[in-house]
Structures are given as structure tokens and as C-alpha cells.
Amino acid sequence: MKTVDAVLIGAGQRGANDYAPFALRHPDQLRFVAVAEPSPKRRARFALQHHIPLENQFVSWEALFACTQMAQAAIICTQDQMHVGPALAALRAGYDVLLEKPVATTREGCRQVVSAAAELGRQLHVCHVLRYTRHFQTMRQILQSGVLGQIINLDHRENVSWWHMSHSFVRGSWANIAESCPLILTKCCHDFDILLWMLERKCERLSSVGKLVHFRSENAPANAPERCLDGCPASETCPFYAPFIYVDLLPLWRNVAETSTGWAHLVMQAQLRAPGLVKALGTVAPVMRQINEYRGWPLSVVTLDPTPESVLEALKSGPYGRCVYHCGNDVVDHQVVLMQFEGDISVTLTMHGHSHVEGRSTRIEGSHGQLQAFFGLGGSWIEVHEHRSGRSTRHDTTSEVGAAHGGGDEGLIAAFVYSIREGRIQLASELAQQALESHLIAFAAEDARLGGQVVSTNKL
Ligand SMILES: NC(=O)c1ccc[n+]([C@@H]2O[C@H](COP(=O)([O-])OP(=O)(O)OC[C@H]3O[C@@H](n4cnc5c(N)ncnc54)[C@H](O)[C@@H]3O)[C@@H](O)[C@H]2O)c1
């Protein structure tokens, strides 16, 4: 089958680090032929990795899409507020598009992009990676099997860990609504998407509460400076002390240890209890070496080439070394959405940034059984309990070790490439409509939170 050629717009964390490696692993399926990226270092690194000639390296998407079409696909991974422009330009230039979520930060922008794809007859796929995980696919199959009987209630929680919250939504790119968008859209458009997809029913109405309660200046430890490394008196006690999160990496290892099983769990325990031993064994054991030389997320966001020295340097002057109580952030750190789905199913979505362990948890009550599930950094599982037989079944839905978003990133890009190769325009159009629906529900949830009212979502 023919290799799909693609251009990449935005060679940052998602584009260059999370999606593009698929092309290096599967050169028979996907090949990058051009890149648009303003950062010279990121552009050069990406061009080198993917053998992109100088004439196909651009500083911005405008210049790339002004050229004659260079490939069938455009993968757009710019920041939230910069999706509509390149997406419309790509669709109009004849590209099929894989677009990072959110589609846009306004309702109008979302509708504009989805309509443009339909009118131009182009494929538009939105990066709703959870759909491509073994975990949520298994959960959907269980629901479809009918083993739970009539679905009565669903309780879904997005438990963002305290250190992920501080990294992305306090110190990072998604801390301010004016620069990105409300957190319920950024973080939970995925969750609304899987709820709609799993239940195969529409959301009829919703209400919501939530606020930013903790990461505010009045909660700073006494005399805390603007930056952690400027002599913070709470350096020994504050969990958000930047070197603790980024140099020691303890929060990340603990999270993986607490949610993994088998040998991965043992290795993580060794890293937590005897890091010196893991360091020494790294010379002979590849898995230990991977831990010693870990340079992935969140370090890859802190600095382009993360070594312990460069990370420390970045903490002295960059955004990730700021005190979490002095960041000027304004997105919520918790929000709950209460929804009524067709069939009088009551659904709650709780999103908060204070979880000890990162992961999404789901509980579904049916007339004939109950489902409980956890989707974590180190491992995932689903349990089904049947009322009449008393039978309990446990499904291990853990993905390959180290697979980002529980294997969702790899699954998404593989599905996008497959859809392009097969010309699955109808499927793509349905997916784009479903993505739009999830986004419109997120906007409605934000309206409900701000206005304190119940919002009808029947005719969004
Ligand atoms: N699907 C998911 O699960 C998921 C997870 C995390 C982030 N995201 C989304 O992915 C998007 C990208 O996030 P990221 O973490 O990779 O951000 P990033 O900041 O690391 O990358 C964005 C890149 O776009 C580049 N850029 C800026 N202006 C440009 C222009 N005019 N032309 C071309 N490139 C330009 C930036 O220099 C940067 O390298 C965001 O919208 C984010 O919300 C999605």
C-alpha cells in the first residue's frame, strides 16, 4: 500500500515528540516531507530526524500552505488558539487534516473548521486519543455487550495529579484562559467525547460548578519568592518545589509505581528505594538505562534537550521554575459537570488537579451489573460485577510500557493513516461531527459554571 506523505505544522511536544515518531517506526505507512515551525532549534531537529530538505522547512504555516500542495496529509499541532487558521488553510489547499484538540477555542471556530472539511470533501480527524486505547475500547465493548443491563448512572473522574496540574495548568501553556481556553474544554473535550461514544446517546442537559481554589497567591508559603530556586523557605516541604518535580522526578516515578504491575512495578519500586542501584545496573540492563536516561514528558517540555544540568538551568529562568502561587494562572483547578443523557441516564464528570495518582476512573451502574475502571500512567484495568451470577471479571487493559496516553497516540495516528489510505471520507466526516459535539458540550459546561444555570444541550 502507498505510504502517506504528510506535512507537520508545529514541531513541539505533540507534533515532533508524540506523533511524528510513528513515521520513523513505520516508514512504509507515513513519511513527513515538510515542516512549519518558528523555533529554529525545533525545526532543525525535526528536519534532521525526518530528512526534510531545506526548501521544505518553513517558519510558519502560512508560508507552507502558500506553496503548491506537497502531501496528502497535514498534521496540525500548534497551540490551542492557533488551530483554526492552519486547519482552514490546509483544508482549502487540498490536505486531509489531523488536528490537535481543541478544534478551536470558540464555538464559531469549531463549527467553521468542521463545516469547511465537509464542504471541501476533505478528511478531518481530531486528536481524541482515548478512543484508540485498549482501555476505552474494551469498556465500550462491555457496554455494547449488554452485560450491565440498562445503564442507570455513570460517574467518570479525570483525576489530574497535583504535579501534572502544576506543570501544565499552573506553570505551563494552559494556565490562562486568554492564552488557551477554559480547562473543561482543554482537558475534558476528550472525556465528553468518550462519554458520548460509549453511551451512544446524546446529552440533554447539564449544570456545572468549579473554581480555582488553591493555586493563588494568598496560599503561598510565607516569604515564598517568585521562583523556587531563589531561596524558597518551603523548599523542603512544598510538593510543588520545582527541582523536586523535575530534577528528582520522584512524583512521576511514584505515579508509575503505584499504578503498574508485574516487572514494571518491581523496576519502579527499585528506582524509588534504591536509585543508586538502578543507576549502577543501567550499564548492563536496558530497562534500567531507560530510567536513568529518561528525557520524555514532562522534561521534554521544560527544555529541548533535557539533561539534569539543562533542566536545572531552565528552572532558574524558565516558566517551570516559578512558584506555583505566583504564576498569574486563572483556569479552574476543579470542576464538576452533572449531565442527563437520553434514557434518563445520570452522568457526572469530575475533573480536578489535586489527585495523588494521575488517572481517569469510571464507575457505571447498570440494572444487571456494575463496572469499575481505572486508566493510569503505569497500568489500567476494568472490573465487571454481575448481579445475578455474582461473577466478577477483571480485564487488564494496560498498554505497552511507555506508550503515551495508554497507547492512544499510536492508535490515533495509525487510524488516521489507514483512513487516508482507504479514502474513508464518510467515517472521517462522522468523527468530525462527533468531535464537534463533544466540544459544544464543553462550551455549554463552561456557560453553566459561569452562569450557575442548567443548560439544555439538545440543540447545540
Ligand atoms: N490530544 C491530546 O491528548 C493532547 C495532549 C496534549 C496537548 N494537546 C494539544 O496539542 C496542541 C499542541 O500542544 P504541544 O504541547 O505540542 O505544544 P507546543 O507548544 O509544544 O507545540 C506547539 C508548536 O507550534 C509551534 N508554532 C507556533 N506558531 C507556529 C506557526 N505560526 N506555524 C507553525 N508552528 C507554530 C510552536 O513553536 C511549538 O513548537 C495543543 O493545542 C494542546 O492542547 C493534545
**What are the pLDDT tens digits along the chain (460 aa)?**
789 999 999 999 999 999 999 999 999 999 999 999 999 999 999 999 999 999 999 999 999 999 999 999 999 999 999 999 999 999 999 999 999 999 999 999 999 999 999 999 999 999 999 999 999 999 999 999 999 999 999 999 999 999 999 999 999 999 999 999 999 999 999 999 999 999 999 999 999 999 999 999 999 999 999 999 999 999 999 999 999 999 989 999 999 888 888 888 888 888 888 888 888 888 888 888 888 889 999 999 999 989 989 999 999 999 999 999 999 999 999 999 999 999 999 999 999 999 999 999 999 999 999 999 999 988 999 999 999 999 999 999 998 766 788 899 999 999 999 999 999 999 999 999 999 999 999 999 999 999 999 999 987 7
Q: How many CB atoms lie within 10 A of CB 134?
A: 21
Q: What is the pLDDT of residue 430?
A: 96
Minimal-distance CA residue to ligand 1 atom 38: 12
What atom in ligand 1 is closest to the CA of residue 61?
Answer: 32
Q: What is the pLDDT of residue 83?
A: 98
What atom in ligand 1 is closest to the CA of residue 36?
Answer: 33
Nearest-angstrom CA–CA distance, 409 and 424: 20
Q: What is the pLDDT of residue 401?
A: 66
The pTM is what?
0.95
Q: What domains sit in the chain, N to C, each tagged with a CATH number?
A: 4-122 (3.40.50.720), 131-215+331-409+438-456 (3.30.360.10), 217-321 (no CATH)
- What spacing in Å lies between the alpha carbon of 318 and ligand 1's midpoint? 18
Dihedral of the CA atoms 19, 431, 58, 50 (nearest 10)? 30
Nearest-angstrom CA–CA distance, 418 and 233: 54
Minimal-distance CA residue to ligand 1 atom 40: 79
Radius of gyration of the chain (CA): 22
The residue to mutate among 100, 132, 303, 438, having the most atoms of ligand 1 within 8 angstroms of its beta carbon, is 100
- What spacing in Å lies between the alpha carbon of 372 and ligand 1's midpoint? 33
Q: What is the pLDDT of residue 71?
A: 98
Q: Degrees (nearest 5) of the Cα angle 399, 186, 407? A: 10
Ligand 1, pocket residues at CB < 6 Å = 9-15, 36-39, 42, 60-61, 77-80, 82, 100-101, 127, 129, 173, 186, 405
What atom in ligand 1 is closest to the CA of residue 130?
Answer: 3
What atom in ligand 1 is closest to the CA of residue 190?
Answer: 3
- Beta-carbon-side half-sphere exposure of residue 115 (alpha carbons within 13 Å): 6
What atom in ligand 1 is closest to the CA of residue 16?
Answer: 16
- What spacing in Å lies between the alpha carbon of 61 and ligand 1's midpoint? 13
Ranges of H-type helices in 214-294 = 242-246, 250-259, 262-273, 275-281, 286-292
Residue pair 228/297 in contact (Cβ under 8 Å)? The answer is: no
Nearest-angstrom CA–CA distance, 43 and 59: 8
The residue to mutate among 8, 77, 194, having the most atoms of ligand 1 within 8 angstroms of its beta carbon, is 77
Residue pair 125/427 in contact (Cβ under 8 Å)? The answer is: no
